[in-house]
Structure 1
Amino acid sequence: MKLAYWMYTGPAHIGTLRIASSFKNVHAIMHAPIGDDYFNVMRSMLEREREYTPVTTSVVDRNVLARGSQEKVIDNITRKDKEESPDLIVLTPTCTSSILQEDLQNFVERASMDSIADVLLADVNHYRVTELQAADKTLYQIVKFYIDKNKKNQSLELNKTIIPSINLIGISTLGFHNNHDTRELKKFFSNLNININCIFPQGATVKDLKKLPIAWFNILPYREIGILTSKFLKKEFGVSSITMLPMGNIEFNKFIQKINSFLTFENQTNFILNFISKNTKKLLNLNWIKKEVKNNKNRKKAIIFGSANHVATLTKMLSKEIGIEIILCGTYCKSDSQWFKEQVQNYCNEILITEDHTIIGNQISKLKPDVIFGTQMERHIGKRLNIPCGVISSPIHIQNFPLGYKPMVGYEGSKHLMDLIFNTLNLKNKKNTFFLFKEKIKIN
């Protein structure tokens, strides 16, 4: 827990609410004072969904401070159970309400007696973990709860599917281009004749979780959310996982080869190899951008900062596929710093791990790169320093929740990345559209 003007990740309860609101027919009760309940507004504005965000605030006010909140919390849980008929109700405190040190587990057990829905307390330390860590832990907790419940009821599905199938883990609300990436991955697996057994938490119900063991393997495109769940599925049922972001030509080809290693049917393997060969020409060839970079007298220098997953993948892509010199790359994901360093140490001059936006701002000002790739904060920094910036990672503004189709993975993702990289590199000195029609101004 930290008092700050601005942070890259939200507090823990935001992560929990992201997971709960991603599932279908799951309702969250947030035990919090007025002021901590901004998640509803944020999600409604950014995701632009027609349905109301399934989150209710059990307000901590002066009456609660005087009398305790047990009666109020239990009443809110049972009321929502009757009104919404959810499959699961998740109760979460916030950093503020955690100060009260109330026995919320006892509240949950009491409310469960009068509720048809399952009631679960998000087991997260709100003072020590970030939004992403809390999201990962909450997803694991929900999956384990329903796996154990279905084991007890003997309703767990265990027989593997005849046709190759996968679980797509970690797709959630407020993710960076998550919905677009999911659509592209669906199309990709359909072309490979691989079925998608379950995509969760986004769009899944808790009833779908009983069939997780029947998949051949798991896909985790975003390692920040889903690692604990994948380890649990591996330990309990032997379901292995591919944890990588298939962004850019080289990483996407590696991704396909890893998928191929899980397939035992010779016909399926041959089909995938033929598919790769057939579609290699369709893969975006970035050599022309590389030539553009080399044609410049000085090698372009870039700074990249954001989530560990996106930064590590983009660093490799810019260095190996385009030939840009990465003078600094960094992440705010301190919990994943060791993995991050292993991934990027051979592709950049300097590595920075920090949650303080002023530190990265000072480094950008000091190193003066030609281009920045980062979050909305790096975009603000770049604007102030007159350095172009392409947004490649959360946290992001509403313009990075596009209505149009803009994935970051797969074939279409390569095209979108090309546009982003080329425009950021080449349009930094261009005037706005109004000035294009003025003859006196020359556009270089």
Structure 2
Amino acid sequence: MKLAYWMYAGPAHIGTLRIASSFKNVHAIMHAPLGDDYFNVMRSMLERERDFTPVTASVVDRKVLGRGSQDKVVTNIVRKDQEEAPDLIVLTPTCTSSILQEDLSNFVARAQEQSKADVLLADVNHYRHNELTAADITFEQIVRFYIEKCKGNLPARSEKPSANILGISTLGFHNHHDCRELTRLLGDLGIAVNVVAPEGCSVHDIQRLPAAWFNVVPYRELGRPVAEYLQSVAHQPFVDITPMGVIQTAQFIRAIQQILTAGGVAVDYEEFIREQTLFVSQAAWFSRSIDCQNLQGKRAVVYGDGTHAAAITRILAKEMGVRVVWAGTFCKYDGEWFRSQVEGLCDEVIVSDDHALIGDRIAQAEPAAIFGTQMERHIGKRLDIPCGVISSPIHIQNFPVGYRPFLGYEGTNQIADLVYNSFTLGMEDHLLEVFGGHDTKEVVTKTLTADTELEWDEAATRELARIPGFVRSKVKRNTEKFARESGRNQITLEVMYAAKEAAGA
């Protein structure tokens, strides 16, 4: 079995807990051993929220294993029902506790008899699903449960155009800021927001979902199954175009225009699109400015979840003139869709969740900038390549206090800044050369993967440290490549000079 010491998408129970804790007055109980109960710490640290419903751990220990865990789980559910009075309690095992193969549906049935709250078992296969797919499944399960409760009494469509925003959740990449920007954009279009789910939504709000004219699904990873379900039971169309970048935001608005026109409301948003593109979004102007012309022909790699990696690839290639050497995603289950989105926009497509492979491919490509996750940011640091973080997995740096949406016209400005500032350009190149690089630490001589590690002697290490920082990693890789091809296991000054001569430098 392969030991995973870095995962781009967490285990399935994290996805379920993200959905449960996004809702108001929904309590999650995790049936798990000690060690799996880190969600509360992770959420309170990253989201900086003081008021959220914590997850309760029903701990599996040796005593529980000895006598069975049914009584403990049922007791914990009933106790939380009495203490917190939630509308819904969601029970989820983890990968570890799933090994026990317990009949948790029976536990839930027993607890439901003694609880005022609704009790659901998350219908997730913890061996086959990851955080993203489990979140999608749990979200649909909860929505389906409450819509079916009132299926014979669905609310009528609102008098004025309105929309639901589906897929905003806790621990999402810039989700709260994106939601604010989407709400503002819809308001500018004369469309009210009916319900935002699951973040900040109660289970009672779920029953109001059918009142909207249509649904907005900004992220590929969360919300589409719910939109498809609502389309089948409430005949609601949905827009699943991610409004990221000038081009896609315009397409997003035009898709809404088609829905409203079909619903009997004649609107024409072309003037709005033109005004927003020219005066609100600075990205269109900036991409044609002399500053952005410095990016023409620059080489970049893009990697992340499907939504953000595809959108950033499109923006770099179509809007900013950057050459994308390769674009990749860790969402292997959605690889076919990703390939269709970036086809013709990059030289190569990589669908993999192996961080070692991704690191090696970045090292081989030697791009001028990386756009990826926090893992690629750390890879970039080791390779002296700048990286802009554009996707989860993320940490505290990606929950900014200031307003930084990635969606809508304000999002285009944020992305333009991120892209431009992620490259080393013009005067910065000159200053790095003048001052011998911006780092004063002793150079790291280990390569990205263990199978390419070579020993550098003291003289060669000192010589490498004298090379300007912005080209040092390239010199290091070329020297090691020459050494391996020459059958050397140690790099000396002689090897460095020979490698330089071989390269014609």
TM-score bracket for this pair, using the shorter chain length: over 0.9
After TM superposition, give the deviation of residue 284 of structure 1 in Å.
Answer: 1.9
CA distance in 2, matches of 1:145, 1:273: 40
CA distance in 2 between counterparts of 1:251 and 1:215 reads 23
Counterpart of 2:190 (choices 180, 193, 203) is 193
Tell me the matched-pair count.
432
Q: Name the CA distance, whole Å, in 2 between partners of 1:293 and 1:276.
A: 22
Higher relative contact order (CA 8 A, sep 6+): 1
Matched residue type, 2:397? Q
Contact 1:19–1:172 (CA<8 Å) still a contact in 2?
yes
1:10-42: CA deviations, max 9, x gaps? 000000000000000000000000000111110
1:88 paired to 2:88: yes
- 1:365-384 to 2 correspondences below 5 Å: 365-384=363-382
Helix, strand or coil at the partner of 1:196 = strand
- Which residue does 1:231 correspond to in 2? 228
Secondary structure of the corresponding residue to residue 393 of structure 1: coil
**Residues 305 and 329 of structure 1 are in contact (CA less than 8 Å); yes or no, is this contact kept in structure 2?**
yes
Give 1:295 shift.
4.4
The residue type paired with residue 168 of structure 1 is I
Q: TM-score, normalised by structure 1?
A: 0.93
Q: Which amino acid aligns with 1:277?
A: R
Q: Distance in 2 between matches of 1:52 and 1:189?
A: 28
Q: Deviations over 1:288-308 (max 9, x none)?
A: 445445447x82000000001
Aligned 1:330-369 pairs, distance under 5 A: 330-369=328-367
Is the partner of 2:230 in helix, strand or coil? helix
Counterpart of 2:73 in structure 1 is 73
2:368/2:424 contact within 8 Å kept? no
Alignment of 1:243-258 (within 5 A): 243-258=240-255
Q: Partner of 2:132 in structure 1? A: 132
Which whole-Å CA distance do the structure 2 matches of 1:50 and 1:236 have between them? Answer: 37
Letter in 2 for 1:57: A
Q: Which consecutive residues of structure 1, in runs of 5 or more, have no partner in the other structure?
A: 436-441
Change (3 A) 1:304 1:30: same
Partner of 1:426: 424
Q: Distance in 2 between matches of 1:281 and 1:267?
A: 26
Distance 2:115 2:469 in 1: 67
Does 2:199 correspond to 1:206?
no
Q: What corresponds to 1:438 in structure 2?
A: none
Among the aligned pairs, what percent are the same residue?
Answer: 56
Alignment match, 1:386: 384
Q: Are the equivalent residues in 2 in contact too, given 1:245–1:251 (CA < 8 A)?
A: yes
Contact 2:21 2:52 in 1 (8 A): no
Q: Return the TM-score normalized by structure 2.
A: 0.82
| Residue in structure 2 matched with residue 160 of structure 1 by the alignment | 157
CA displacement 1:104-139 (0-9 Å, x = unmatched): 000000000000000000000000111000000000
Alpha-carbon offset, residue 164 of structure 1: 0.6
Which of 410, 419, 427 aligns to 1:412? It is 410
CA–CA separation in structure 2 for the residues paired with 1:378 and 1:222:
21
**Matched residue, 1:178:** 175
For the Cα contact (< 8 Å) 1:303–1:371, is it kept in 2?
Answer: yes
Counterpart amino acid of residue 232 in structure 1: Y
- Partner letter of residue 199 of structure 2? Q
Aligned AA (2:43): R
CA contact (8 A) 2:25 2:53 kept: no
Aligned to 2:463: none
Task: Please give the alpha-carbon distance, in whole angstroms, between the structure 2 residues aligned to 1:133 and 1:281.
Answer: 38
Deviation at 1:53, TM superposition (A): 4.0
Cα distance between partner residues in 1 of 2:207 and 2:58: 31
Residues 184-333 of structure 1: pairs in structure 2 closer than 5 A: 184-264=181-261, 268-270=266-268, 272-282=269-279, 283-289=281-287, 291-292=290-291, 294-295=293-294, 299-333=297-331
CA distance in 1, matches of 2:275, 2:5: 51
Contact 2:21 2:28 in 1 (8 A): yes
Q: In terms of Rg, which structure is larger?
A: 2
Question: Which whole-Å CA distance do the structure 2 matches of 1:23 and 1:2 have between them?
Answer: 35
Shift of 1:286: 3.8
Deviations 1:194-242 (A, max 9, x none): 0111100000000011111121111000010112111111111211111
Q: Work out whether residues 244 and 406 of structure 2, in 8 Å CA contact, stay in contact via their aligned partners in 1.
A: yes
> 1:274 Cα shift?
3.5
Looking at structure 2, the residues matched to 346 and 163 of structure 1 have their Cα atoms a distance apart, in angstroms, of: 41
What CA distance in whole angstroms lies between the structure 2 residues aligned with 1:62 and 1:424? 51
SS in 2 for 1:349: strand
Aligned-pair CA distance for 1:386: 0.2
CA shift at 1:419, angstroms?
1.1
Q: Distance in 2 between matches of 1:277 and 1:395?
A: 35
Alpha-carbon distance change, 406 to 108 in structure 1, aligned in 2, over 3 angstroms: same
Who is 1:12 aligned against? 12
Letter aligned with residue 319 of structure 2: E
The structure-2 alpha-carbon separation of the partners of 1:421 and 1:108, relative to structure 1 and needing over 3 Å to count, comes to same
Task: Say which SS state the counterpart of residue 262 (structure 1) adopts.
Answer: helix
